[in-house]
Amino acid sequence: MRNFVYENPTKIIFGKDKEKEVAKHTAEHGSKVLLHYGGGSIKKYGTYDTVVKSLEAAGIDYVELGGVKPNPRLDLVKKGMELVESENVDFILAVGGGSVIDSAKTIAAGHYYDGDVWDFFANNVKIEQALPVGVVLTIPAAGSESSTSAVITKMDGEHKLSINSKHIRPQFAIMNPELTFTLPDYQTAAGAVDIMSHILERYFTKTANVELTDRLCEAALKTMITNTPLVLEDNEDYAARAEIMWTGSIAHNNLLDTGRVGDWASHGIEHELSALYDVAHGAGLAVIFPAWMEYVYQHDLERFAQYAVRVWGVDPNFKDLKWTAEQGIQKTREFFKSIGMPLSLEELGVPGDRLEEMAAKVVAGKERGSIVKIDKEDVLNIYQSVLK
Ligand code: NZQ
Ligand code: ZN
User: What is the DSSP annotation of 333-349?
Assistant: HHHHHHTT---SHHHHT
Calpha distance 307→66 (Å, rounded): 42
Pocket test for ligand 1, best of 69, 102, 176 (most atoms within 8 A of CB): 102
Q: How far is the CA of 21 from the centre of ligand 2 (A)?
A: 29
Nearest atom in ligand 1 to the alpha carbon of residue 69 is 1
Calpha distance 184→190 (Å, rounded): 10
| Residues at CB less than 6 angstroms from ligand 1 | 38-42, 45, 70-72, 96-100, 102, 138-139, 141-144, 147, 149-151, 179-180, 182-183, 187, 191, 194, 252, 267, 274, 281-282
- Indicate which residue's Cα is closest to atom 49 of ligand 1: 142
At how many degrees (to 10) do helices 355-363 and 376-385 cross?
140
Paired residues of 52 in beta bridges:
none
- Indicate which residue's Cα is closest to atom 34 of ligand 1: 98
pLDDT 10s digit of each residue in the chain, 388 long? 999 999 999 999 999 999 999 999 999 999 999 999 999 999 999 999 999 999 999 999 999 999 999 999 999 999 999 999 999 999 999 999 999 999 999 999 999 999 999 999 999 999 999 999 999 999 999 999 999 999 999 987 688 999 999 999 999 999 999 999 999 999 999 999 999 999 999 999 999 999 999 999 999 999 999 999 999 999 999 999 999 999 999 999 999 999 999 999 999 999 999 999 999 999 999 999 999 999 999 999 999 999 999 999 999 877 799 999 999 999 999 999 999 999 999 999 999 999 999 999 999 988 999 999 999 999 999 999 999 9
Global pTM reads: 0.98
Question: Which residues line ion ligand 2, judged by CB < 5 Å?
Answer: 194
Task: Write down the H helix ranges in the chain.
Answer: 22-27, 41-44, 47-57, 74-86, 98-110, 119-122, 185-203, 211-233, 238-250, 265-277, 281-296, 301-312, 321-338, 345-348, 355-363, 376-385
Q: How far is the CA of 323 from the centre of ligand 1 (A)?
A: 36
Helix, strand or coil, per DSSP, at residue 135: strand
How many residues are recorded in the chain? Answer: 388
Distances (CA, A) of 72 to 140, 158, 207, 274: 17, 12, 34, 11
Helix, strand or coil, per DSSP, at residue 153: strand
